[in-house]
Structure formats: C-alpha cells, structure tokens
Amino acid sequence: GHLAREAREDLLRDLDELEVSAKAPEVVADTERRAQVAYQRLFGDGRGLDGGAPMAWQHFHERYMAAALQEQVSNSLKGKHHFPAMLPGSLIAEEVRKKDAPETLDGQVEALLAQKRQHLAVARLMQEGKELQSFIPGPVPCASPLYEHVYSPIEGCSASNAMTKAPPCGRWEKENVATKDEVAAMQTNMLKAFQHLFHSGPMTSLAVDSSAWPLISKTLTQDLLERSRQAVSDALGGIDLFFSGALLVRLQIPPIDGEMQRNSSRGDEFSAHVDKANVASYDWSAILYLSTVGKDFEGGELLFLDEQKDSQLEPKEGQLVFFSSGLENVHRVRPMVRGRRLVLAMWFTCSQRHAHPDLHFMDRQTDS
Ligand SMILES: O=C(O)CCC(=O)C(=O)O
Ligand SMILES: [Fe+2]
C-alpha cells in the first residue's frame, strides 16, 4: 500500500544517488586502476585462462567496470539496510564460509587466477607415456601458492616450506583406519542411500552434512570422519584441523541405468585437478577407501602427477590417503574399467572460521 510505495520511491531516489556517486570521476579512476591490476594479474603472462589467447583488454575492461558498478551499488545498499535480507543472514554467511564464494569482484579475479594456475599445471603434467612409479609416502616440495589475497596459510598448520614448525607439503597413507566390519557396514549404507540419488554417468555422490544423517548411519560416519581427522592431525604433528567438507562417492562401471541417471556424458570425475583450486580454505585432503582395487573394481587408481614421474596408489579398503591440498598435489583418478569404487573424501581447513557448521563440533554431537 501507501508505505510500500513511499519506500519504493525512497529506494529509487537512493539508487539514483548511488549510481551517480559510483560514477564519480575519482571512483571511476580508481576502478580503472583496479581493472588494470586485475588484467595484469590474470593475463600478464600473455596467456588466457585456458592457456590459449588472453581475453582482449577491451572486453575484460567492459565486464570489469560493469561488475564494479554493480558491486558498489549493492554494497552501498547493504550499508543502508534498505532490503530485508532475502535469506537469513546466518545462512548467507555459512554458505560463503563453506565455499569461500568470492563475495567481491577482486575475490572473483583471485578465483579465476587459481583456476588458471590449476589449468596450466595440469596441462604441463599430463603427458603421454610418462614414467610411472608406485606411491611413495613422504614430503614433497610445496608448489607456488594458488591464491594471494583470499586465504592466508595458518601458521603451524597449513603446509609450508618456509615456516618453521609447519608440516611440510606431501602425501601419506595409513592402512586399517576402518575395520573390515566398518567397511562392510559403510558399503551397505551407501548402496542403500545411493538408490535414491541421481547419478552422473558412473558417479553418484552424497555430501556429508546434517541432511545426510537420515540416509546413512550418523554414528558410523561420524566415527570414521573423526578417526580420519585424528589420524591426519597426528601424522602431521598434532595440528588443529577443522572439517571443511566431506563427500561419499561411488564410481561404478557399468553406470546405473534408469530414471535416476542424469546420464551426463561428462567424464571429468576422473580428471586431473588440485583440491585447493576449488575452495581456497582447504589445507589438507584425505580419502578413506571403502573398497579395494583388483577385488571390487578395476581401473580407478589414484595418481599423483609430478614433473618427472607419476605415482600410482592402489586403493585398499580401510586405507586413508592424505595430502596437502595445494598445487604440489595435482592428482587424478584413472578411468574405471569395471566394478564399484567407494570412498569417503574429506577436506580439512586450519581455519576455524572456515569450518563446516555441521561437521565442526562433531565430537560434541550425539546421535539422534
Ligand atoms: O577418489 C579418489 O581417490 C580421489 C578423489 C578426489 O581427488 C576428489 O574428490 O577430490
Ligand atoms: Fe581431489
């Protein structure tokens, strides 16, 4: 009614003012400078995001300026408390914390840069006929950082070459983290739960958070998560790790047929990647294997890609593999040949602020 119209007119007037102020010469000049810095960071090496030709300055400039204007207006509006939040504020905060969703334009530039660095590393390391060796646990030199301004390494917990008393970058494994009975129970759990989920070709996955507890055994899953976290922490000198995310994943050949099959022809669930390129706050990655290569499935080995040789790990049920999440650990899963491959994948952060809200205080939760 009347109030709503007044509020709307108020808002429109403010919007006009904001647009005018966002277009003030000094603001534009500052935005121009930021656009140049961003372009230099992204394309200063003469290469595009996919390693090909770089984006044209004109095109980038246009998009950056438009996005910057939008950002300034929306920031000012937030400051004015004009809109009631579309979502409860805490929900937005959780989502941002969890995914490190780049909230700012320069955060988006940072994310693009990380994707580019991942892409270039993968392109360099994926070569035909490269020598193969079996997995050797131990430290490896840390690679250059993927991010510069989004997430800073946490002293004494994030992997580092430089910091004293920080764990080194590397990859390790520990057998028998889950017992035979636990593995069998998880297998049963997953097969049952996954009947009700969509499949993407050979892949079915379930994010482990509070919404998963009705589908899988909460007690057992929490037990395995917490034990894995402890094993990783102990192996790295007792560092404080927080769950950032966890995923139950099945790869199955032949893929499940039927109406739950999304039949995406994407084969990228096997492709080479760096975990930290997806989420900046990941410090450590871990995979708990719930089936065994050569017995439950063929293909599906885990490969770490290095300059000279690749290292191949043969997954074994109950085995935990863990590694620093950065560029030094480009990895991929070999295409599946047959059978069913089940894993519990986990990502840890050293930053309590980035902890997953459902998984953080796991040891204090009780089964319901
Ligand atoms: O399943 C595996 O062995 C590795 C999976 C992986 O790299 C990931 O989910 O990020
Ligand atoms: Fe990964």
pLDDT in tens, 234-286: 999 999 999 999 999 999 999 999 999 987 666 555 799 999 999 999 999 99
Quick check: 201 pLDDT over 80? yes
CB 241, CB 348: distance < 8 Å: yes
User: Comparing C-alpha atoms, which of 235, 245, 346 is closest to residue 286?
Assistant: 346
> For a substitution probing ligand 1, which of 270, 343, 346, 347 has the most ligand atoms within 8 Å of its CB?
343
**d(CA 47, ligand 2 centre) in Å:** 25
Above 0.95 for ipTM, yes or no?
yes
Q: 277 alpha carbon to ligand 2 midpoint, in Å?
A: 10
Mutate-to-test residue for ligand 1 from 316, 329, 333, highest number of ligand atoms within 8 A of CB:
333
Task: State the closest ligand 1 atom to the C-alpha of 249, by its place in the atom list counted from 1.
Answer: 1
What pLDDT is recorded for position 93?
40
Atom of ligand 1 nearest to the CA of 285: 10
Q: Given the structure tokens 């560029």, which residue do they identify?
A: 327
Predicted local confidence at residue 366, as pLDDT: 45
CB 330 within 8 A of CB 273: yes
Tokens of 234: 């102990």
| pLDDT confidence of residue 83 | 44
Instruction: Dig out the tokens for 128 from the structure.
Output: 């035909």
φ, ψ of residue 305 in degrees (nearest 5): -100, 120
CA dihedral 62, 65, 68, 69 (to 10 degrees): -110
* Integer CA distances (angstroms), 147 to 106, 126, 285, 325, 355, in order: 12, 22, 17, 12, 19
pLDDT at 74: 75
| The total number of residues written for the chain in this structure | 368
Task: Please report the beta strands in the chain, taking only residues with DSSP state E, as ranges in sequence order.
Answer: 131-134, 138-139, 170-174, 203-207, 242-253, 284-289, 297-299, 302-305, 309-313, 320-324, 331-333, 336-349
Of 179, 265, 264, 222, nearest to 364 by C-alpha is 222
What digits encode the pLDDT tens for the residues 111-156?
A: 899 999 999 999 999 998 999 999 999 999 999 999 988 888 999 9
Q: Which atom of ligand 1 is nearest to the CA of 321?
A: 3
Q: What pLDDT was estimated at residue 15?
A: 76
DSSP characters for 319-360?
A: -EEEEE-SGGG-EEEPPEEEEEEEEEEEEEES-GGG--TTTT
Residue-wise pLDDT for 172-197, tens only, equals 999 999 999 999 999 999 999 999 99
Strand order through the sheet with 309-313: 131-134, 309-313, 302-305, 331-333
Question: Residues near ligand 1 with C-beta < 6 Å?
Answer: 275, 287, 302, 331, 333, 343, 345
How many whole angstroms from its chain centre is CA 186?
A: 24
Task: Give me the phi and psi of 312, to 5 degrees please.
Answer: -110, 125
**218 within 8 A of 185, measured Cβ to Cβ:** no
Ligand nearest to the CA of 345: 1
* pLDDT, tens digit, 9 for 90 and up, residues 38-96: 999 999 999 999 999 999 999 999 999 988 888 877 777 666 544 444 433 433 344 44
- Domains of the chain by residue range: 2-119, 133-364
pLDDT at res. 368 = 41
How is residue 331 written in tokens? 């990895």
> What is the three-class DSSP state of 218?
helix
Amino acid, res. 332: R
CATH architecture entry for 133-364: Sandwich (2.60)
CA of residue 104 to ligand 2 center, whole Å? 26
Distance 11 CA to ligand 2 centre (A): 46
User: How many CB atoms within 10 Å of residue 222?
Assistant: 18
Of the ligands numbered here, which is closest to the C-alpha atom of 302?
Answer: 1
DSSP output for 112-170:
HHHHHHHHHHHHHH--TT-EEEE---EE-PPPPPS-SSS-PPPTTTS--SSSTTSPPSE
